[in-house]
Structure 1
Amino acid sequence: MALVHRKFVMSAILSRFARAYSTPVQEKDIRKSVFISQSKDIFTNLALEDWLYKNLDFTNHHVLMLWQNDPCVVIGRHQNPWLEANVPALGALTDQGVALARRNSGGGTVFHDQGNLNMTFFTSRNHYNRRYNLEVITRAIFREYGLKLEITPRDDLTLRNCKVSGTAAKLGRPSAYHHCTLLVNTNKVHLSEALQKSDVGIETNATKSTKSKILNLCEENPKIKVPALYKVVGWEYLRTHALSVKDGGMELANQQKGFQMVNPTEKWFPGIEEIRDNLQGWQWRFGKTPKFTISRSFTVPEHLISQDVPDDLKVTMVVEGGKISDVNLYVPPGLVANGFSGNVNVITSLIGHKFSEEALDNLEWSLGALGSDKDKFVTDCVKQVMQSV
């Protein structure tokens, strides 16, 4: 089966661009496949998604990729990981930790674990239709379980006014994809802890996620399980006409290319390891973060007050490309042992360090010897700014 699949993949690559701008394809000439990833690794699955998008010809062959992940937070292409996720806590939330990934598509942040079913619908750009895809999902759930999901104007799926799926997409030429994740029995405690953040004091143009009430499908019907949904959603996709939401029944489904288990390895998909390495690298996950500024004010404890009405201590950091590009301290007069006060722009050793693991290692040294409680208070304030996002 692996050899047959590899031949199919290479053939699709060779013909992709030759057919991309040819005469429009008729619906009757389009065939469908359901690919099921054998990996549970978020970086591998995102790499597979990107590889298919870049290499396959979807002109007359539409593909639904079904996949699951071990616990992870997935942010959109233009988002700030420190603003969207509880970055310092992710490593300890589960036994294996929670990975943080940035995907190629836009949209908001989601939490995945093996209680989610992820779906990516690949078509040519001309045939991209996210409403069609959502209709396939809602029909599948209703046909098998009798639950009627609603499609919102924002193209989210809801049940009892709670969100059960979001949506994101990547539109290019000649291909496009739309993907979403269906909440089946995800761990809502881990989800809440992984995404629990505050944006107080942060200025940025990065896309911000919108918080919503969520619901697992199993809360409404305990019989719904992710393994069964592979078949339920897959068959609904195959039996639905390619360009219109018309049910062709099993007669149409049997004319399609069917289900294929795919192994996202270098042997099957040449070049996928390089894509995965880039997606897992710090530069993509954190270095691609849009510029942001974080400011915090701290009330000076009474036992450190040297004036009748002291000012607050203020810390402002600018982060570009995931690294600290500027730091400014406003230190009230008389607070630190070495006597500096006012706007102090001398913490140069922090500049250029990654935010925040490298910078934290150098923080105490850059603020001088911690000879007094006042010095320690200043150091703590700067550290809190870096650990609060």
Structure 2
Amino acid sequence: MAFRLVTARIPHPARFARGRRWSSGARILKSEVPDIIFHFAVEDYLMNFAKITSPLLYLWRPQPVVTIGRHQNPWKECVLEQLQSDQVALVRRRSGGGAVFQDPGCSVFTFIFPSAAFDIDRNLETVLGGLRRLGVAAEKKGRNDLVYQGKKISGSAFKHAPDRQVSLHHGTILIDTDLTALQRYLTPDKRKLQAKGISSVGARVMNLREAFPSLTHQDLCDALTEEFRDREGASGPVEEISEQSELAQAKAFQDLMAELGDKSWRFGKTPEFSHQFETRIDGVGVFDVHLKVVHGVIEDATIFSDALFPDVISAAMTSLCGVEYGRDGIGAALKGLGPQFTEEGPKKTLEAMTDWMISNVGD
């Protein structure tokens, strides 16, 4: 491709407040830092400390790492002993979704938009358009996957900051990742495999290099950059972010790095469960519920899930604490969350989870 990448230093977040009009304010960032915690900190910093008034695209890739969704159980999702033996990091995202292995052969895109303009399909169309520029006729399938010739090449996860009216969508694109690592490090839920009629994780994914041997991470970045420019009007240079960037030197950024790398965040708490039940709900996700009940009252509620709307899961766990154990108490607590989640995706997740939990709790 003839596109030439131009780099520049990202300004201090205060300067985002003086951003240009939408037609010229869309921005593209890129980084070659290998540490995925750095990239998650960039995402959090932009969402929480920058004034996002226009679309933003961030392109990056990590060193070998397994990332899990905000509410997933690492002991259930991963082969921790193998991760430790191979010195592969385990990192928990703030977004939802399932466990994923990533390495330099796995390119990542991050969209950050003002929530009023956030549209998952719009983002995925940008990715599909970029792939078409490379001759890859991919298509959307299922919840938010992209496939090529029937095999998955991309998955996505999301998070929102309602108080700041900013939303994020990040996803992977498999170019030349180690697909055998999926089987070494992850322990996929058997119900997912049975529901999709497959025998292993590796059987349903593919690297684009299998069909496009010369494709590189830089090729993909160039194509996504061009597509994003055309769709969102990004006219400025691609801004390179490194550990020496002004953004990365900010105390708030360093605090985010420390928090995301802390063991208590990565592994969470494990209460003494007194009632555990789990299921997979088609089109919604896997739910693994643990309730600690003391004197007929739920003292602690932990819900592990790969559902794409983590705010629903967080609200459910909070609402269940202090509630009388039983269908009436649990039903009232979860149904009371209805006014908070009126959009189709979160609403469907809450309703499906509520109906299932009520049906699995005996009075």
> By the TM > 0.5 criterion, same fold?
yes
State how far apart, in whole Å, the 2-side matches of 1:283 and 1:4 are: 33
Equivalences for residues 3-82 of structure 1 within 5 A: 5-7=10-12, 9-12=13-16, 29=23, 31-59=25-53, 61-82=54-75
CA RMSD of aligned residues (A): 3.1
State how far apart, in whole Å, the 2-side matches of 1:82 and 1:285 are: 11
1:265/1:195 CA distance change after superposition, 3 Å: farther
The structural deviation recorded for 1:289 is 6.2
The structural deviation recorded for 1:186 is 0.1
The structural deviation recorded for 1:191 is 2.4
State how far apart, in whole Å, the 1-side matches of 2:81 and 2:166 are: 37
- SS of the aligned residue for 1:43 comes to helix
Of residues 125-134 and 265-274 in structure 1, the stretch that sits farther from structure 2 once superposed is 265-274
The structural deviation recorded for 1:128 is 0.6
Name the counterpart of 1:303.
Answer: none
1:235/1:92 CA distance change after superposition, 3 Å: same
User: Which amino acid is the alignment partner of residue 149 of structure 1?
Assistant: A
The structural deviation recorded for 1:171 is 1.7
Name the counterpart of 2:335.
Answer: none
Equivalences for residues 287-302 of structure 1 within 5 A: 287=268
1:292/1:141 CA distance change after superposition, 3 Å: farther
1:153/1:3 CA distance change after superposition, 3 Å: closer
Q: How many residues align?
A: 262
- Greater RCO (Cα-Cα under 8 Å, separation 6 or more): 2
1:29/1:280 CA distance change after superposition, 3 Å: same
User: Do residues 216 (structure 1) and 207 (structure 2) align?
Assistant: yes
C-alpha contact (below 8 Å) 2:101/2:182 kept by paired residues: yes
State how far apart, in whole Å, the 2-side matches of 1:168 and 1:283 are: 22
Could you give the per-residue CA deviations for residues 334-363 of structure 1, whole angstroms, max 9, x where no partner exists? xxxxxxxxxxxxxxxxxxxxxxxxxxxxxx
State how far apart, in whole Å, the 2-side matches of 1:52 and 1:62 are: 12
State how far apart, in whole Å, the 2-side matches of 1:286 and 1:121 are: 27
Name the counterpart of 1:170.
Answer: 159
- SS of the aligned residue for 1:258 comes to coil
Rg (Cα) greater in structure: 1
User: Which amino acid is the alignment partner of residue 136 of structure 1?
Assistant: T
State how far apart, in whole Å, the 2-side matches of 1:78 and 1:98 are: 20
Moved over 6 A (4+): none
State how far apart, in whole Å, the 2-side matches of 1:71 and 1:39 are: 13
Equivalences for residues 104-115 of structure 1 within 5 A: 104-115=94-105
Name the counterpart of 2:266.
Answer: 285
Of residues 113-122 and 29-38 in structure 1, the stretch that sits farther from structure 2 once superposed is 29-38
Could you give the per-residue CA deviations for residues 51-89 of structure 1, whole angstroms, max 9, x where no partner exists? 111112222x21101111000000000111111111111
Q: Identity of paired residues, percent?
A: 29
C-alpha contact (below 8 Å) 2:10/2:240 kept by paired residues: no
- Aligned counterpart for 1:180 among listed residues 144, 157, 171: 171
1:227/1:319 CA distance change after superposition, 3 Å: farther
C-alpha contact (below 8 Å) 1:158/1:164 kept by paired residues: yes
State how far apart, in whole Å, the 2-side matches of 1:264 and 1:119 are: 19
User: Which amino acid is the alignment partner of residue 121 of structure 1?
Assistant: F
Could you give the per-residue CA deviations for residues 262-315 of structure 1, whole angstroms, max 9, x where no partner exists? 1245843412111111111111000256876799xxxxxxxxxxxxxxxxxxxx
The structural deviation recorded for 1:198 is 6.9
User: Do residues 156 (structure 1) and 149 (structure 2) align?
Assistant: no
C-alpha contact (below 8 Å) 2:29/2:59 kept by paired residues: yes
1:65/1:228 CA distance change after superposition, 3 Å: same
User: Do residues 275 (structure 1) and 256 (structure 2) align?
Assistant: yes
State how far apart, in whole Å, the 2-side matches of 1:152 and 1:290 are: 37
Could you give the per-residue CA deviations for residues 11-63 of structure 1, whole angstroms, max 9, x where no partner exists? 22x569xxxxxxxx98x64522110123110111111111111112222x211
State how far apart, in whole Å, the 1-side matches of 2:274 and 2:154 are: 31
Name the counterpart of 2:123.
Answer: 133
1:186/1:87 CA distance change after superposition, 3 Å: same
C-alpha contact (below 8 Å) 1:83/1:199 kept by paired residues: no
C-alpha contact (below 8 Å) 1:86/1:197 kept by paired residues: no
